[in-house]
Structure 1
Amino acid sequence: MTMYVTPFFAWMSELGHTPNERLGLSTMISVTWAVGYVIGTQIYLFQTMLEKAGFEPLKAFQTVTIAYGVVGFIFMLLPIIFIDERRYCEAHTVNEGGLEAIKTAFKDKPFFIFVIQDLLYWVGLTGISLGLVYYITVLLKLPKEHASQVQLIMFLLSFLFYAPVNILARKLGKKRLLMVGFIIFAINFGFTSMLGRLALSPVAQSYIVAVLAAIPLAIFGILPNAMVADIAEAHGKRTGNYKAAVFFGARTFVQKMGQTVAGLIFPSLFILGSNEVNEVGLRVSAIVSLALMILGYVLLLFYDEKFILKHLQTVHSE
């Protein structure tokens, strides 16, 4: 999957010739991802439909899985077949070896700052995601099925915010809007650490978490890829080495690393001081995620978006 996704996102830098075009591409990719996610999560619904049609459970599941695989394969082929790189992409070369290209990518100050804040974001978000069912069942004393409802609300609301995020990013800038996302997430995680202790019904508290999460989820679902594409394009214009795939590959690696680190750290926090998930551990985990969001916000203060846009606009105007 990484072998497909990395060059796919690298196209964003080459197919989008201006920051706004790249933002638009990132938004459309996020929208199609959302649609695919909704369809993908209905696999058991389709399995049930086949079972009612007379299929055995195992056979029904296998049939649906194969169908999903075939459809997914066909859609993965579409950009390969229909996007003419020679027509829509500018031809560039890289005068660096593979290892040197990676080193110079991380030496690019805006990119280095970006990937570190991205790492913090993924550690914090993954940790909260891992603990969501426990926040619902342990802190709010609600049934675990309610966690699925909260996730669905978060997803649907974030989808509604895609268009506003696109518009605001054009007016306010990607950096500023990403910082807003960090602030809202920090507020939400602070609220999460207090679940069960507030003068609100448990259901109301869970819905507040969902609503607060929806906006930053839309922001972080759209802007990071567009920002990496801008960084890669600006780097290429400054140095003559166009290596969008290296930048996106490095970003993907850092993203996976953040998810892995969270998977190692947060389960231990959930059981802090005990052998099972407990309230203290869950509240501490939320506070840790809050701290990571604050650190991400602080790091973004040093991200020089004007430097990136200056190089993009100067060469584009030429």
Structure 2
Amino acid sequence: MMRKHVAFSPRLSSPKRFAVSSRTMTALAAVPRARLSFWNKLVYAAGNTGNVIGYQLVTTYVLRLYAPPDDKGTALIPAFLAGAIPTYLLLNLVARGFDTFWDPIVANWSDRSKHRLGRRRAFMIAGVFPLALTAGLIFFPPTAATSLVNVVWLGAMLTAYYAMFSVYVAPYLALLPEIAPDKQENTSLSTLLAAAALLGALGVMVVAPALFLGKGGNDRVELQTMAGALALLSFVLMLLPVVFLDERRLVIRAEASGAEPSHLGLVDSLRATFADRAFLTYVLGYTLYFFAFNMISTGVPFYVEVLMGRPLAEVGKLLGPMFGVAALAFPLLGGLARRFSKKGTMIASSLVFGGLMTLLPWVHDVRLGMVIFALAGVPVAIFMAIPNAILADVCEASTRRTGQRREAMFFGAQGFLQKISLGVSTGVFQWVKDALGSSADKPLGVQVTGPLATAILVLAALTFARYPEARVTKEMEGAG
């Protein structure tokens, strides 16, 4: 077999740093692989349900446990350290500081791995149990009173959780463009992943509170029991793709395709990733959207208890309609993306979701809240499905342009920024609510988070407008 010629430019910062022959690009499109059956798709999607259960558990209920509304229980950590530093924000920044080094290291290891089980599956095996374990342990602080010991515990558990998130989730998502390299196929699989994520979020935010929070969420033991059960379910679901998905059969072999695992070192791989204009534009828009979305997600228990005067167990009354509408919207997303483009759907999603969140300060009736969150179901469905499909396109375009497969670095870089956004947005929410008030008599700190999220979503829409989708599509088709 004739070897495919791949020429590398020594200047990694140049946008044309790699050149790949047209014969290589043709081979990439033509190499046979094992068919991705419906069973394979379900098993792969189950991992996303498990991952989202743990993630949603941490983002929605950790702050509620450690820093409840002013009139809803004893705080387990002081609101501020040294009288001025928001505690939860500081802990998240410390955890993100570790991720600054850890995320790209894991991604680079995975991209360069030649493990016999597969370069993604080996990392998923290593991360699955610690990830589920730390998601549960966060909810079991050493003491039941406000204490610096709890501050240390929470900081350590958050750092461990996000470190294990990198080990499992970045390689898991990196499989998407590898097992579904076709543009329409990865859109279809991304939509299935979004439906799986919706199922996980539904379990955490609607079903579990109804089953476990019989006293309205004010009983700490009930919340801890719920967290333990969800962490166990998360582990079982994340284990399914590890056990049943044969990466070696489903991924195009490097030696047959003309593409190869990355041989770039950590620094060069990072530089090449962030020098990709399509990736940089996309990931900035996604990170801004995620910041706003997570701020709203963190705020839901406070909207229910503080603004609407209802018990925590009734969060399902807001989120049930939203998830129901999102589920109905999923089958339509492929058609929307084809007609208006993935870029166009993300811009519309950002603006519609932002417009709805401006109404939150005036929502005092749970019925009005149900209507607003139901209308938010369509933009939320788009946000859950389309970004992974866009990033899969970016990965495939990069592979065709460079001859190297670096999916884990792309998804790892996104995951790193996602976790920074997650930590900072949750910390900012805590800071705003504690500084401006989070009680029924003084709700301003909860009210302003809606308009704040809107401003960030407008910035996300402006950023998505600069995503070069036409260029990415040409490169995927071998015309770039």
TM-score surpassing 0.5?
yes
Given that residues 20 and 170 in structure 1 are in contact (C-alpha distance below 8 angstroms), is that contact kept between their aligned partners in structure 2?
no
1:1-318 alignment to 2 at 5 Å? 1-38=165-202, 69-70=235-236, 72-80=238-246, 83-86=249-252, 90=257, 92-93=259-260, 94-196=262-364, 202-274=365-437, 278-315=442-479
Cα distance in 2, alignment partners of residues 259 and 30 from structure 1: 18
Cα distance in 2, alignment partners of residues 67 and 288 from structure 1: 34
The one-letter amino acid paired with 2:388 is N
Gaps of 5+ in 2: 1-164, 214-221
Given the two structures, how large is their TM-score scaled by the length of structure 2? 0.57
List, as ranges, runs of 4+ consecutive aligned residues in structure 1 with deviation greater than 6 Å: 43-48, 61-65
The one-letter amino acid paired with 1:26 is S
The one-letter amino acid paired with 2:243 is L
3-state SS of 2:436 partner: coil
Residue 115 of structure 1 and its aligned partner are, at CA, apart by 1.3
Residue 185 of structure 1 and its aligned partner are, at CA, apart by 0.9
* Deviation sequence 1:80-136 (CA, Å, 0-9, x none): 368432579946222421221111111111111111111211211111111112222
More helix by share: 1
Given the two structures, how large is their TM-score scaled by the length of structure 1? 0.83
Report what 1:53 is aligned to.
Answer: none
Percentage identity across paired residues of the two chains: 23
Shift in alpha-carbon separation, 1:174–1:86, aligned structure 2, 3 A = closer
Gaps of 5+ in 1: 49-56, 197-201
Number of aligned residue pairs: 303
Moved more, 186-195 or 139-148: 139-148
Please tell me the root mean square deviation across aligned C-alpha atoms, in Å: 3.2
Given that residues 395 and 410 in structure 2 are in contact (C-alpha distance below 8 angstroms), is that contact kept between their aligned partners in structure 1?
yes
The one-letter amino acid paired with 1:219 is I
Shift in alpha-carbon separation, 1:222–1:136, aligned structure 2, 3 A = same
The one-letter amino acid paired with 1:32 is A
* Deviation sequence 1:254-278 (CA, Å, 0-9, x none): 1111100112111111233348583
Cα distance in 1, alignment partners of residues 201 and 445 from structure 2: 31
Cα distance in 1, alignment partners of residues 399 and 281 from structure 2: 18
Residue 70 of structure 1 and its aligned partner are, at CA, apart by 4.6
Cα distance in 2, alignment partners of residues 304 and 194 from structure 1: 38
Residue 232 of structure 1 and its aligned partner are, at CA, apart by 1.2
Higher relative contact order (CA 8 A, sep 6+): 1
The one-letter amino acid paired with 1:149 is K
Cα distance in 2, alignment partners of residues 124 and 65 from structure 1: 25
Shift in alpha-carbon separation, 1:315–1:21, aligned structure 2, 3 A = farther
Given that residues 197 and 384 in structure 2 are in contact (C-alpha distance below 8 angstroms), is that contact kept between their aligned partners in structure 1?
no
* Deviation sequence 1:225-279 (CA, Å, 0-9, x none): 1111111111222233321111011111111111001121111112333485832
Shift in alpha-carbon separation, 1:85–1:144, aligned structure 2, 3 A = closer
